[in-house]
Amino acid sequence: MIVMKFGGSSVADAGRIRHVGEIVASRLSRKPVVVLSAMGDTTDLLLEAANAALAEKSVSIEKIEDLHYKAIADLNLGEKTEAEIRPLLEELKSLLAGISLIRELTGRTKDYLVSFGERLSVRIAASCFRLMNMNARAMDAWEIGFVSDSNYTAAELDRESWNMVPRLLNPLLEGGILPVVTGFIAKDAKGNITTLGRGGSDRSATIIAAAMGAEEAQVWKDVDGILTADPRLVGDARPVELVTYEEAAELAYFGAQVLHPRAMQPCLKTNIPVLVKNSYNPGAPGTRIVASRPEKPAFPVRALTSRGNITLIDIVSTRMVGQAGFLNGVFSVFARHGVSVDVVATSEVSISLTLDTANDLEALKEDLARIARVEIKTGKAIVTIIGDVSRSSEILQRAFGVCADLDVQVQMVSQGASKVNISFIVDDTQAAGVVQGLHRNYFGKDDKDGK
């Protein structure tokens, strides 16, 4: 069996839902379980409605109603489907009225509220799929065994779910049923609705795939997969065919928002490949995320990313030579200030490190100045090369060549311990040019290596 997950933009309206139906229909022989997000921006609209209810007396959910009733009408799903979703929309209205009455929005209420998005979308989609001659059944996640803790807005599934999911899903699949399951939501042991956190339906899909021992988890998005660079920066960025979980996690951290590392975890643990596909371009091969690469690729670089608005801190201690505990002293200052450090390089007498610029730098600097000389430089960017770090010399030689040609001074270099990333710091204003130059060098059309 396979799991096929479609995000909000893939089910944004009637046309998109029918198109998803076509994609699913062409893969029925692989016994899919479909996992869906809420239609379009419904989750955001629901949260907006909640905030409005907190501030005012009456709240309109007209936009949400229109979106769903229009899809039903456009798909010709008829009175029966309308009757299926009307009670949900009525319940939603009562809930909002309740919120505006008591002027309080707890995590529990928030989860209950946003759950309507996914509950509506699976009912409409399943009905559409039935009209397309598939034996589809809309299911709320708790009907397939999603039991979570009560950590509202960021719940974690209980162990027992892992046994319950196959026990409940397998008979359906054997009976030729196509389950269309809500992503994102679950219920706790007390029966309250919970959510796995924003964007959580990817994780719902990978949990189902892992629990079922699926052939693969397909995550259908609105991009061609993981790209060699940010397409807004690099015009000819193209999809990467294969990345490891590790590479994908580094890419996600450094700004390529394709799949959150938390979403990959269940499949990583169980060694099930994740395939990122584009529902707007189903013919494209997409990106396959696997535990390990079957063979070393000829070309050592997979992808490039950059992250701006970074602060670089240089810490120099004349007492560092031969001293134990200096690094410890420095990092305990960061810990005390609750500041997370991203990239680090050290020498015998100095430490350079980077942080996101949002932090309160003055207080931090004052504390650091007690133990060392400190220099803070803002307006920096981290450029990251994801690839085979065992070939770092070759990668770096070319990277430095590009920077030299652009007359860009590299201000710090760090080779990730994970052995998949090399990061370096340049001025924010130079980052785009560097990424473009690197991309041309590593992946340029006239470079036969970089295919």
Q: Which does 9 bind (CB under 5 to 8 A by kind): ligand ASP, Mg ion, none?
A: none
CB contact at 8 A, 382 and 306:
yes
Q: Provide, rounded to whole angstroms, the least separation between the CB of residue 57 and Mg ion.
A: 29
CB 5 to ligand ASP: min, Å: 9
Pick the closer one to ligand ASP by CB: 202 or 230.
Answer: 202
**Minimum CB distance to Mg ion, residue 44 (Å):** 8
3-state SS class at 177: coil
Contacted by 183, from ligand ASP, Mg ion, none: CB < 5 to 8 Å by type: ligand ASP
Is 323:272 a contact under the CB 8 Å cutoff?
Answer: no
350-356: strand order across its sheet: 344-346, 350-356, 301-316, 373-387, 421-427, 412-415
Asked if 201 touches ligand ASP (CB under 6 A), the answer is: yes
CA 371 from centroid of its chain's CA atoms:
39
Q: Per rule CB under 6 A, is residue 306 in the interface with ligand ASP?
A: no
Residue pair 423/343 in contact (Cβ under 8 Å)? The answer is: yes
Angle at 256 between CA 114 and CA 251, to 5 degrees: 120
**Which of residues 117 and 300 has its CB atom nearest to ligand ASP in the complex?**
117
Residues that bind Mg ion (CB under 5 A): 8, 37
148 binds ligand ASP (CB under 6 A): no
List residues bridging with 427 in a β-sheet.
380
Nearest residue (CB) to Mg ion, 11 versus 59: 11
Least Å distance between CB 58 and ligand ASP?
25
Within 10 Å of residue 281's Cβ, how many Cβ atoms?
13
Query: In angstroms, what is the minimal distance from the CB of 243 to ligand ASP?
Result: 21
Place of tokens 């003055």: 362
Shortest distance, position 118 Cβ to ligand ASP, whole Å: 6
* Residue 112 binds to ligand ASP (criterion: CB under 6 A): no
**Min. distance of Cβ 401 from ligand ASP in angstroms?**
41
Residue among 6, 112, 146, 184 that touches ligand ASP (CB under 6 A) = 184
Pairing between strand 216-221 and 178-182?
unpaired
Q: Which residue is nearest to Mg ion (CB)?
A: 8
Q: Closer CB to ligand ASP, residue 8 or residue 387?
A: 8
| Shortest spacing between CB 304 and ligand ASP, in angstroms | 26
8 binds ligand ASP (CB under 6 A): yes
Among residues 117, 179, 300, 387, which is the contact residue for ligand ASP, using CB under 6 A? 117
| CA 145 to each of CA 111, 160, 187, 194: distance values in angstroms, whole numbers, following the listed order | 18, 8, 9, 13
Interface stretch with ligand ASP, choices 80-88, 199-207, 292-300, 395-403 (CB under 6 A): 199-207
d(CA 271, CA 214): 10
Which uninterrupted H or E stretch holds 275?
strand 274-278
Q: Which of 128, 159, 174 is nearest to 17 (CA)?
A: 128
Q: Is 7 in the site for ligand ASP (CB under 6 A)?
A: yes
CB of 260 or CB of 307, closer to ligand ASP: 260
Instruction: Decide if residue 198 touches ligand ASP (CB under 6 A).
Output: yes
Alpha-helical segments (H) within 132-199: 159-174
Part of the chain binding ligand ASP (CB under 6 A), chosen from 55-63, 196-204, 298-306, 411-419: 196-204
117 binds, among ligand ASP, Mg ion, none (CB under 5 to 8 A by kind): ligand ASP
300 contact choice in ligand ASP, Mg ion, none (CB below 5 to 8 Å, kind-dependent): none
d(CA 345, CA 49): 47
Helix (H, G, I), strand (E, B) or coil at 385: strand
Provide the token pair at 362.
């003055």
Q: In which order are the strands placed within the sheet that holds 2-6? A: 136-139, 178-182, 32-36, 2-6, 216-221, 274-278, 287-290, 242-244
Q: Cβ atoms within 10 A of the Cβ of 220, count?
A: 26
Residues 10-39 as x/- pattern, contact with ligand ASP by CB under 6 A: ---------------------------xx-
What does the alpha-carbon distance between residue 368 and residue 331 come to, in Å, rounded to a whole number?
10
Complete DSSP assignment for 216-235: EEEEEESSSSSBSS-TTT-T
Q: How far is the CB of 9 from ligand ASP (least distance, A)?
A: 9
Tell whether residue 311 is a contact of ligand ASP (CB under 6 A). Answer: no
Between residues 37 and 194, which has the closer beta carbon with respect to ligand ASP? Answer: 37
Which residues are near ligand ASP by CB under 6 A? 7-8, 37-38, 43, 117, 183-184, 198-202
